[in-house]
Copies of this chain bind each other. A is one copy, B any other.
Amino acid sequence: MTIRTRLSALLTAHGTPLTAHAHCDLPCGVYDPAQARIEAQSVKAIMEKHNASSDEDFRVRANLIKEERCELVKHHLWVLWTDYFKPEHLATYGNLHDLFWKATKSAGEAKKTNDVAVADRLLEEIDGIADVFWATKK
């Protein structure tokens, strides 16, 4: 039994998710806010590396990669919003639309700045979405 398998068993026993879940448009029924969080963590790390460097070529690369990563954050969140959530969820979580609107706007803002505070806010907003998501999965 691998560490991972044991951990999965442990967490399953607690009704807690461990492994990340994805989606496809079939739909395959596999979703997870972790996909957006992954890219947002990357965005934050890129900003920090950008700000710590004075090399022109490096900063160009940091900016262009951040652009792509922010787009991925937006994409993963949009998919979750449109594909996973159903009208019955909206009845319980009246602010659902707003959570996604603000988070995707923050991801767009993160393209335009290297201010780490924007990445931190984005991460918090994704965590807020994750809380709702996992509550609906119980």
Q: Please report A residues at the B interface, Cβ cutoff 8 Å.
A: 2-5, 7-9, 11-12, 15-26, 28-30, 32-35, 37-39, 41-42, 45-46, 49, 56-65, 67-69, 71, 74, 78, 81-83, 97-98, 101, 104-105, 108, 111-112, 114, 126-128, 130-131, 133-135, 137-138
Contact = CB atoms under 8 A, between A and B. Distances in A.
B38 A30 contact: yes
Identify which of A7, A28, A128 gathers the most chain B CB atoms within 10 Å of its CB.
A28
A95 to B, nearest CB: 10
A15 B61 contact: no
A8 B45 contact: no
Stoichiometry (number of copies): 6
Interface residues of chain A: helix, strand, loop or mixed (majority) = helix
Q: Which 3 A-B pairs have the closest CB atoms?
A: A20-B20, A22-B38, A97-B97
B4 A62 contact: no
B17 A134 contact: yes
